[in-house]
Amino acid sequence: MAPFATLYTSRALKHAKSLKILAVANFNNLEIAVDETFDMFTTPKTPEYLAKFPMGKYPVMETADGFCLAETAAMAFFVAESGPKREQLLGVDVKQRALIQQWISLADSEVFANCLPLVLQLFGALPKDEKVRMEKETAMVRAMRRIEGHLKGVRKEGKRWFVDGEEPSLADLSVAASLFWGFMFYIDEEMRKDYPETIKWYRTLLEVEEVKKTFGEPEMVQVRPESVKL
């Protein structure tokens, strides 16, 4: 049987945005093929790709019946809605669904958007700029404190996940994906001391079979390097 969809994405480094889409697919038992011929520098510039995905960015996906979709948040939503675990992933009622969206938005716009330039400076993909680094780190830390405070409350109630429920939702997957490169390259052991609940939650989440399959073992940098050679 043809896979539910094909994902076009970079395979060079575990791609944080793609991880959550693939983990969502695991929960819903949907097969997503990752296109092996995709080259992040050339494929998005081809006329065939641009005809389907006019922004010329990645990740993007095409379903078996030819439905083309871009934007990670939309793809994760679509895959979450398309299987039996939709209520676990997206919420059972309007308030729970809204809370899950709240955490997805915080993950994307407050954590990942600020973390990305920090790791890009380490990769040399952005020029080193101390002022920018401080600004982005301050903004990311503000969101990480919010996450830590929330998880403290969750744990006090004897629960495990971002939004009430026995199983992780798209909120957990989105926050984890937003921190994935941060933990790998920037948020080192010293910095992690301020976020014990976040670390416990992250490790617990990555033990869940459907998550482990795509995220792998937690990779956490000991001491932040001056630069990272990919």
Report the interface residues with ligand GSH, using CB under 6 A.
17, 56-58, 71-72
How far, rounded to the nearest angstrom, does the alpha carbon of residue 226 sit from its chain's CA centroid? 24
Quote the least distance from Cβ 10 to ligand GSH, whole Å: 7
Quote the least distance from Cβ 46 to ligand GSH, whole Å: 13
Quote the least distance from Cβ 120 to ligand GSH, whole Å: 10
User: Is the Cβ of residue 88 or residue 178 nearer to ligand GSH in the bound state?
Assistant: 178
User: Is the Cβ of residue 71 or residue 148 nearer to ligand GSH in the bound state?
Assistant: 71
Torsion of CA 66, 72, 75, 77, to 10 degrees: -170
Structure tokens of 55? 């922004």
Q: In the bound complex, which residue of the shown chain has the CB atom lying closest to ligand GSH?
A: 57
Quote the least distance from Cβ 102 to ligand GSH, whole Å: 17
User: Is the Cβ of residue 58 or residue 161 nearer to ligand GSH in the bound state?
Assistant: 58
Structure tokens of 181? 């490169």
Quote the least distance from Cβ 57 to ligand GSH, whole Å: 3
Largest Cα–Cα distance of the chain, in whole Å? 54
User: Is the Cβ of residue 112 or residue 195 nearer to ligand GSH in the bound state?
Assistant: 112
Q: Collect all residues with Cβ–Cβ distance below 8 Å to 137 and sequence separation of at least 6.
A: 114, 118
162 touches 171 (CB < 8 A): yes
CA distance 97 to 164: 11
User: Is the Cβ of residue 92 or residue 228 nearer to ligand GSH in the bound state?
Assistant: 228
